[in-house]
Structure 1
Amino acid sequence: MLAPLDPSLYYLTNFHRALDWIDERYADLLDAEEARFIADFRALPLASRALLVRLVMRKGPHFRAGKLSYAEIGDIPSAAAPLLALGWLDDACPLTLEELLPLLLKDELLARFRDDLPRGALKKAELYEHLHAYHDQVQPFAGWYPGLDPLYTLVATPLCDRLRLLFFGNLQQDWSEFVLADLGIFRYESVPFTADSRAFRRRDDLEAYIHLWNAAVRFDSGEPIDELLAELGDFRSDNPYLQERHGRLLYRMAYQLEREGQLDAALALYRRTAAGGSRQRQIRVLERLQRIEEAHALARSALAAPESDSELQLVERALTRLVRQLGLSKQKPSKPTPPLRIDLELPRPDVNVEFAVQAVLHEDEAPVHYVENALVCSLFGLLCWEVIFTPLPGAFFHPFQAGPSDLNRSDFVSRRAQAFAARLALLDSDAYRAAMRATHAAKFGIISPFVHWELLDENLLEQALHCLPAAHLKLWFERLLADPKANRAGMPDLIQFWPGEARYRMIEVKGPGDRLQDNQKRWLAFCAEHSMPVEVCYVRWADDVAESA
Structure 2
Amino acid sequence: MTAHPLDDPFYYLNNFMQVLDWLEHRYADVLSVEEQSFLRDFKRLPRETSALLVRMVMRKGIHFRASKLHYDEIGDIATAVEPLLEMGWVDEHTPLSMETLFEVLLKAEILQCFSMAIDQPKGRKSDWLPALSERFPQAQRFTDWCPTLEERLFSLTIMSLCDRLRLMFFGNLYQDWSEFVLADLGVYIYEKVEFCAESRGLRNRADVDACVLLHEYQQQFESGAALDEVVERISGLVLDNPWLQRRRAKLLFQMAQHCERIADFSTALNLYRKCSYPGARSRLIRVLERCGEFQLALEQATLAEQAPESAAEHQQLLRVLPRLRRKLGGPPIKRASPRPMQRLDLQLPRSEPALSVEFHVQAHLSQGMAPVHYVENSLINSLFGLLCWPAIFAPLPGAFFHPFQRGPVDLLNEDFHERRAQLFQACLAELDDGRYRQTIRERYTGKWGVQSPFVFWSVLSEELLDQALDCLPAEHLKHWFNRLLQDIKANRAGMPDLIQFWPQEKTYRMIEVKGPGDRLQDNQVRWLEFCHEHQMPIAVCYVQWSEPGA
TM-score bracket relative to the smaller structure: over 0.9
State which drifts further: 446-455 or 523-532: 523-532
Query: What is the aligned counterpart of 1:448 among 446, 452, 470?
Result: 452
How far 1:119 sits from its partner (Å)? Answer: 4.9
Query: Given the alignment of the two structures, is residue 534 of structure 1 paired with residue 538 of structure 2, yes or no?
Result: yes
Tell me the distance in 2 between the aligned counterparts of 1:207 and 1:462: 51
Tell me the distance in 1 between the aligned counterparts of 2:257 and 2:44: 50
What SS does structure 2 have at the residue aligned with 1:167?
helix
2:258 corresponds to: 256
Query: What is the aligned counterpart of 1:425 among 421, 425, 429?
Result: 429
1:161 corresponds to: 163
- 1:243–1:132 Cα change, 3 Å: closer
Contact conserved, 1:338 with 1:528, CA < 8 A, in 2?
A: no
The residue type paired with residue 192 of structure 2 is: S
The residue type paired with residue 282 of structure 1 is: L
Contact conserved, 2:99 with 2:133, CA < 8 A, in 1?
A: no
1:494 corresponds to: 498
How far 1:286 sits from its partner (Å)? Answer: 2.4
1:225 corresponds to: 227
The residue type paired with residue 487 of structure 1 is: N
Cα RMSD of the aligned pairs, angstroms, is 1.7
The residue type paired with residue 396 of structure 2 is: L
2:300 corresponds to: 298
Gaps (5+ residues) in structure 2? none
Deviations 1:487-542 (A, max 9, x none): 11111111111101101111111122222111111111111222211112222222
Query: What is the aligned counterpart of 2:349 among 347, 350, 361?
Result: 347
What SS does structure 1 have at the residue aligned with 2:539?
strand
Deviations 1:430-456 (A, max 9, x none): 111112112112111100000011111
The residue type paired with residue 347 of structure 1 is: P
Query: Given the alignment of the two structures, is residue 473 of structure 1 paired with residue 477 of structure 2, yes or no?
Result: yes
Using the size of structure 1 for normalisation, the TM-score is 0.96
Contact conserved, 1:468 with 1:503, CA < 8 A, in 2?
A: yes
The residue type paired with residue 289 of structure 2 is: E
Using the size of structure 2 for normalisation, the TM-score is 0.95
Tell me the distance in 2 between the aligned counterparts of 1:85 and 1:338: 77
Tell me the distance in 1 between the aligned counterparts of 2:273 and 2:106: 53
What SS does structure 2 have at the residue aligned with 1:43?
coil
Query: Given the alignment of the two structures, is residue 369 of structure 1 paired with residue 365 of structure 2, yes or no?
Result: no
How far 1:351 sits from its partner (Å)? Answer: 1.2
The residue type paired with residue 546 of structure 2 is: A
State which drifts further: 286-295 or 472-481: 286-295
How far 1:415 sits from its partner (Å)? Answer: 0.8
What SS does structure 2 have at the residue aligned with 1:538?
strand
What SS does structure 2 have at the residue aligned with 1:500?
coil
What SS does structure 2 have at the residue aligned with 1:20?
helix
1:65-464 counterparts in 2 under 5 A? 65-119=66-120, 121-131=122-132, 134-146=135-147, 147-348=149-350, 349=352, 350-464=354-468
Deviations 1:187-228 (A, max 9, x none): 000000111111111111111111111111111112122101
Tell me the distance in 2 between the aligned counterparts of 1:339 and 1:360: 21
- 1:268–1:193 Cα change, 3 Å: same
Tell me the distance in 2 between the aligned counterparts of 1:452 and 1:159: 37
1:41 corresponds to: 42
Contact conserved, 1:467 with 1:502, CA < 8 A, in 2?
A: yes
Tell me the distance in 1 between the aligned counterparts of 2:95 and 2:205: 33
Tell me the distance in 1 between the aligned counterparts of 2:361 and 2:424: 36
Deviations 1:33-65 (A, max 9, x none): 000000110000111100111111110111100
The residue type paired with residue 400 of structure 2 is: F
Tell me the distance in 2 between the aligned counterparts of 1:484 and 1:18: 32
Tell me the distance in 2 between the aligned counterparts of 1:134 and 1:347: 65
Tell me the distance in 1 between the aligned counterparts of 2:288 and 2:7: 64
The residue type paired with residue 59 of structure 1 is: K
State which drifts further: 457-466 or 285-294: 285-294
2:10 corresponds to: 9
Tell me the distance in 1 between the aligned counterparts of 2:142 and 2:133: 18
State which drifts further: 35-44 or 210-219: 210-219
Contact conserved, 1:336 with 1:528, CA < 8 A, in 2?
A: no
The residue type paired with residue 193 of structure 1 is: F
Query: Given the alignment of the two structures, is residue 515 of structure 1 paired with residue 519 of structure 2, yes or no?
Result: yes
Gaps (5+ residues) in structure 1? none
How far 1:269 sits from its partner (Å)? Answer: 1.9
Deviations 1:222-253 (A, max 9, x none): 21221012222443422111110011111112
The residue type paired with residue 7 of structure 1 is: D
Contact conserved, 2:234 with 2:248, CA < 8 A, in 1?
A: no
State which drifts further: 358-367 or 249-258: 249-258
How far 1:114 sits from its partner (Å)? Answer: 2.2
How far 1:123 sits from its partner (Å)? Answer: 1.6
Work out the number of aligned pairs and report it: 543
What SS does structure 2 have at the residue aligned with 1:138?
coil
What SS does structure 2 have at the residue aligned with 1:177?
helix
- 1:248–1:5 Cα change, 3 Å: closer
Contact conserved, 2:6 with 2:184, CA < 8 A, in 1?
A: no
How far 1:478 sits from its partner (Å)? Answer: 1.0
Tell me the distance in 2 between the aligned counterparts of 1:132 and 1:272: 42
1:24 corresponds to: 25
Contact conserved, 2:111 with 2:121, CA < 8 A, in 1?
A: no
How far 1:137 sits from its partner (Å)? Answer: 3.2
The residue type paired with residue 111 of structure 1 is: Q
The residue type paired with residue 514 of structure 2 is: K
Tell me the distance in 2 between the aligned counterparts of 1:367 and 1:507: 13
1:484 corresponds to: 488
- 1:6–1:542 Cα change, 3 Å: closer
1:63 corresponds to: 64
What SS does structure 1 have at the residue aligned with 2:194?
coil
What SS does structure 2 have at the residue aligned with 1:344?
strand
What SS does structure 1 have at the residue aligned with 2:268?
helix
Contact conserved, 1:97 with 1:134, CA < 8 A, in 2?
A: no
State which drifts further: 421-430 or 331-340: 331-340
Tell me the distance in 2 between the aligned counterparts of 1:479 and 1:129: 58
Tell me the distance in 1 between the aligned counterparts of 2:401 and 2:413: 16
State which drifts further: 515-524 or 229-238: 229-238
